[in-house]
Amino acid sequence: MNIQSVDLNLLKIFEAVYLERNVSRAAVRLELTQPSVSHGLTRLRLLFGDPLFVRTRSGVEPTVVADRIAGPVQQALRVLQTTLDEHAHFEPASSGRTFRLHMSDFGEVIFLPKLMRALLERAPGVRIETRQLGGVELAAALDSGQIDLAIGYLPVLDQGFECRHLLADEYAVIAPRHLIPSGGKGDNAFNGLDFIAVTSHPQTLAILRECGLLDRVKLWVPHFMVVPAILAERNFAAVAPREVVHAFSPRSRVRSFPLPALQRGMDVNLYWNRRYTGDPGHAWMRELVADLFDRERK
C-alpha cells in the first residue's frame, strides 16, 4: 500500500469506529454525518483489501486485520496530536525538553545557578546543555539548530540572527586590592603593573593595545575564571567587564580601577535563529533568560 493514498481523516474514522463499535456513534464522536463515515469505511476497505468491520446486532466488530492495525494507527495519531499540541503551546511544568545554550565560562558560573534555580521552580523536567564555541563555529551551530540560544558579547552574530539586549557593561582594570596604580595620568597610570590578557575576549586585547599596555602582558589565558586565582598569587592586573569584577569581588581580594584615557562599553545580548521565533518552548526560554537578567539589574 502506498502511504500517499492514505488520507489522515480515514485513519481517524477507522479509530472512531474501532473504539465505538458503531458507525452512528463514531459519526457523533467525529462530528460527521453517518453517510460520511460509511463512505470513509468503504475507502478504507478498498485500501486494506479487507472488510475491517462486520455487522452485528449491536453495531460492528473488527476483523483480524482491523485488530492488527488498530494499535499502530492509534499510536501514530497520538504522536501526531502530541506534536501538534507542543507546537501550539508549551507546558514548562511538564516538559522534558533540552535547551542548548552558548555562553562563556564566566557566564556559566554567574548565570547558570540562577537559571537552574528558576527551572527547579518552574520547569523541573527541562534540561540545559551549555557549549562554548568560536565565532564561525557558533554562527554555524545557531544556523543549523545545534544551539538554541547564545548569550554574551557576540558582535559576530549581529548580522543574520534575532537579538535581544540583556545588559550594558563597561570595562575596567581589575587588580588585587592592595595594589595602587603608579599615580601617573592617562596611559601612564598603569605602567607599573604587569597584565593578564584574556584571549577569548578580543575587546580586552584591543583596549590594552590602545592604552599602550600590551607590552606589559606577562600572561595569556583563554578565560576570565582563572584570573582571581592568579591575582591572589601575583601582582598582576587585567582588563575585564565590570560584571566580572562585581562577581569576583565578594569571593576574592580584588578591586577595579577606571581605564585610563578611554571608556569602552559592551552589550550582552541574547541571540537565536529567527526560524525558532514562533516556537512556544523557545519563546518561553527566551523570556525566562531576559527576566533573570532584568532582575539582576534591579
Give pLDDT tens digits along the chain (298 positions). Answer: 555 667 888 999 999 999 999 999 999 989 999 999 999 999 999 988 999 999 988 889 999 999 999 999 998 888 887 777 666 678 899 888 999 999 987 788 778 889 999 999 999 999 999 988 887 889 999 988 899 999 988 888 988 899 999 988 888 888 887 765 555 444 455 667 789 999 888 888 888 888 888 888 999 998 888 888 888 788 888 988 877 777 776 566 777 777 765 666 778 899 999 988 988 899 999 999 999 988 765 5
Show the beta-strand stretches assigned E in the chain. Answer: 53-55, 60-62, 98-102, 127-131, 149-152, 162-176, 194-198, 217-221, 236-241, 254-257, 265-272
- Say what the pLDDT of residue 252 is: 63
- Residue 130 to residue 147: CA distance in whole angstroms: 9
Write the CA distances from 100 to 115, 129, 130, 141, integer angstroms: 13, 5, 6, 10
- In angstroms and rounded to an integer, the radius of gyration of the C-alpha atoms of the chain is 31
Which residue ranges make up each domain of the chain? 3-88, 99-166+267-297, 168-265
Strand-pair category, 217-221 with 162-176 = unpaired
Tell whether domain 168-265 is in CATH 3.40.190.10.
yes
Whether 269 contacts 164, CB under 8 Å: yes
- Say what the pLDDT of residue 18 is: 92
- Say what the pLDDT of residue 186 is: 44
CATH architecture of structural domain 3-88 = Orthogonal Bundle (1.10)
- Say what the pLDDT of residue 226 is: 84
Tell me the fold of 99-166+267-297. D-Maltodextrin-Binding Protein; domain 2 (3.40.190)
Q: What is the DSSP letter of 2?
A: -
168-265 and 3-88 share a CATH fold:
no
- Residue 38 to residue 50: CA distance in whole angstroms: 15
